[in-house]
Chain A
Amino acid sequence: MSKSGIENIEEIVKTYGKDVLKICRYYLQNKQDAEDAFQEVFIKLVRKHSAFCGKSGFKTWLTRIAINTCKNFLKSRSLRNDTINLLDCDDRRDTAIYDECDELYKIIVSLPLDYKDVILLKYYFGYTSKEIAGILKTTEPAINSRLHRAKIYLKEILTERGWSDYEYLD
């Protein structure tokens, strides 16, 4: 990213936009909010480009901005007492092709935020624990512990629902 921060913004939006939108949809579960958050992420990126010191990778930094932006959206949503009905959300697929994957996805996106963070970053984006610690500004042991607890929590939910033989991830 250049000093001005905008010379190659078009390229940045094109390159990273899809991942940013995925993060927004994952956290916000609402198309309209996700699109608003998407725009906010790139506006913040330009505004804060001078804070990018290059210690972490650009994508890592952008991911952190995207996650923080979504959490701020969630906070303002809770202040407005808005709620999202997962059955109405746009990620609900056509009932004809709705399967266990969709059901598990719906459970994952309803997990507590701490668990959602690590699950998305680890199992979708494939970041290492060290990279996740950098994104979430915490320590590697804390991330490993959170991942462990997230999986236990998820397993408990799935067991309650009779999903005792699902493929467990180590």
Chain B
Amino acid sequence: MNISIEKALHKGLDGIEVQPWLESQTIRKITEKSKITLFDFRLETKYVYVAACVLAFIIAFTSIQPYPDNKRFIESESGLNQPSKQAPASSKTDVTGQSGAVYHNIDISQIVRHGYDSDAKVPVSFYFSGWLMSAGKELDIGRHWHQQAQFTKGDIESSLHTTIIGPVLPDGDYTMTKAVLKDDATDEIMAYQTVYYYFNKDTMEFQNRFSIFYFAEDHFDTEKIEQMQNVTRTEGKIHIDDFSREVNVHIKIPHVRKLVYMENGVGIAIEAETDAVIIGGKVDRGKSLERYEQTDKQLIALMKSVFEK
């Protein structure tokens, strides 16, 4: 048999022609849609100018303030993660949502974390964001976490085929970041992550962090996910594996724990992370474990709040 891939492809594809009706229907559809696009484009341009003027005014105004105003608080909408509106820049009052959580619109890099080295042995784990990148079905295809700004909630929900539910957050001061994991080859959204950083608002010191992931099972290795899953629901009741104290390693990284749940092809994972307690420059194992347990309770409450909605 003396044929080649090239010949076969040419035989299969060369005869394909675009019918005139398909061309004209496509152009008509584009023209109809573009009327709206053009209108929006001009509108957006106008808004860009207005926004630029407003921004210039804000920069000018804040630059003559006698002190830096880095405590701009935003009310948490219904106690969830989404701020309802930004308070005026001059506001100095904490506004608390229904759950008690207060969202601070600050740069994450302002949150202080202390590095430490210790002989204390406490539970540790690895980060789920990294694990998801390594659990993809096709490992030779690139995938990267991207900041979520360019995606709407609708885009993400449509890609992941699920409704993204905000958890009831613990009381305290937090700020938030969002990201999506995208398949580099197809640009498809594989997973979505929201991270809530809790910190002491006076000292800006890190307290703990909760990451919530939604991911579409069909992008990942099912067997790996099943091994990771430690949350099950039977007859409406949630069963979560016990908090493990057995992991006993030398720490240089904070404690992390994950709860992973899969249903109808959609996964939810919630990860908690908290630093060890350091007293006199050394890790206090007992106090660290107390803190971990407290964080763990909050983690379980978060998972339940997502289920119960």
- Chain A residues engaging chain B, CB cutoff 8 angstroms: 4-6, 9-10, 13-14, 17-18, 21-22, 25-26, 35, 38-39, 42-43, 46-47, 68, 71-72, 75, 78-79, 91, 99-102, 104-105, 108-109, 114, 117, 119-120, 123-124, 136-139, 142, 145-146, 154, 163, 165-169
Name B's interface SS: helix
Distance in angstroms between the alpha carbons of A66 and B124 in the assembled complex? 45
A18 to chain B, nearest CB (A): 6
B124 to chain A, nearest CB (A): 33
Q: Is the CB of A136 within 8 A of B185?
A: yes
Distance in angstroms between the alpha carbons of A6 and B36 in the assembled complex? 12
B309 to chain A, nearest CB (A): 24
Q: Is the CB of A104 within 8 A of B17?
A: no
Distance in angstroms between the alpha carbons of A42 and B23 in the assembled complex? 10
Kindly identify which residue among A17, A47, A169 contacts B6, using a CB–CB cutoff of 8 Å: A169
Name A's interface SS: helix
Interface readout for B13-25 with A: 1 if CB under 8 Å, 0 if not? 1001110001101
B85 to chain A, nearest CB (A): 29
- Interface residues on chain B, size class: 35 or more
The answer to whether A137 and B142 touch (CB under 8 A), given A25-B13, A38-B26, is yes
Distance in angstroms between the alpha carbons of A135 and B218 in the assembled complex? 23
Q: Is the CB of A13 within 8 A of B23?
A: yes
Residues facing A in B169-227 (CB within 8 A) are 184-188, 218
Residues facing A in B3-50 (CB within 8 A) are 3-13, 16-18, 22-23, 25-27, 29-31, 33-34, 37-38, 41
In the complex, the number of residue pairs spanning A and B with C-beta atoms less than 8 Å apart equals 140
The answer to whether A165 and B1 touch (CB under 8 A), given A25-B13, A43-B30, A46-B34, is yes
- Chain B residues engaging chain A, CB cutoff 8 angstroms: 1-13, 16-18, 22-23, 25-27, 29-31, 33-34, 37-38, 41, 138, 140-142, 161, 184-188, 218
Q: Which residues of A contact B29 (CB under 8 A)?
A: 39, 43
Identify 11 residue pairs between A and B in the complex whose beta-carbon atoms are under 8 Å apart, listed by A's number. A6-B38, A14-B23, A18-B17, A35-B22, A39-B29, A100-B1, A102-B12, A114-B141, A138-B184, A166-B2, A167-B3
Q: Is the CB of B34 within 8 A of A42?
A: no
Distance in angstroms between the alpha carbons of A117 and B184 in the assembled complex? 14
Q: Is the CB of A105 within 8 A of B9?
A: yes
Q: Is the CB of B37 within 8 A of A47?
A: yes
Distance in angstroms between the alpha carbons of A131 and B294 in the assembled complex? 53
Q: Which residues of A contact B142 (CB under 8 A)?
A: 137-139, 142
Q: Which residues of B contact A123 (CB under 8 A)?
A: 5-6, 9
Q: Which residues of B contact A22 (CB under 8 A)?
A: 13, 16
